[in-house]
Amino acid sequence: MTEPSTTLRELTGMPDAPASLTGSALIMIDLQNTYTRGVMALENVEPAIEEAARLLERARAAGSTIVHVQHEAGAGTPYDTNDEIGAIVDAVAPKPGEHRVVKNFPSSFVQTDLEEHLRGAGVTNLVLAGFMTHMCVNSTARSAFNLGFAPTVVAGATATRALPGPGGVVEASSLQSASLAALSDMFAVVVPDASAVPD
């Protein structure tokens, strides 16, 4: 089997440089307590939160537009934003003046004011961090691309979990790698960690 040598981004001449924090929007996707424990606990979630916190601190210093996204699925679910389980993790909690989006679908753009907010802020470059890589990060990055934004995904600030598959369990590490590779083929620039995102 031939080893892959290029991506669709490269074949079509799309930019491969990550967005700078200055002049961009940092989208913090679903960094909620539910992913740190219990049925929705993610593999390597704590290092991902630490990386997201470093990114958030730098974005604040750079004066970036900052958006915090929370998934809401109702009372009694792992995504109850009115309960502690659905709250944003303290280490990356919003500060006054930072925009908050509550969503009900995997994409942060569906039936929310996110696009309107970003257009109003005059930003087209987005830096994405959060959970889960294969689900809401993936969906948000694809929506952003389709709407004409230029997303950069910070791999080290994302995480996912093992899933049942038709051939057996898909381990979290495999799903993480495959999800990021699929995004980097066309929809986003994917960088390993926050240090790869320029100020």
Q: Which residues pair with 65 in a beta bridge?
A: 25
Q: Which residues pair with 189 in a beta bridge?
A: 152
Of 155, 198, 195, whose CA–CA distance to 64 is shortest?
A: 198
Tracing tokens 């929310």 back to the chain, one arrives at: 112
Strand-pair category, 168-170 with 25-29 = unpaired
- Residue of 30, 80, 185, 193 marked catalytic: 30
Other CB atoms within a 10 A radius of the CB of residue 152 amount to 25
Quick one: how far is CA 173 from the chain centroid?
Answer: 17
- Residue of 136, 185, 193, 199 marked catalytic: 136
Q: Is 30 a catalytic residue?
A: yes
- Residue of 103, 185, 193, 199 marked catalytic: 103
Active site residues: 30, 103, 136
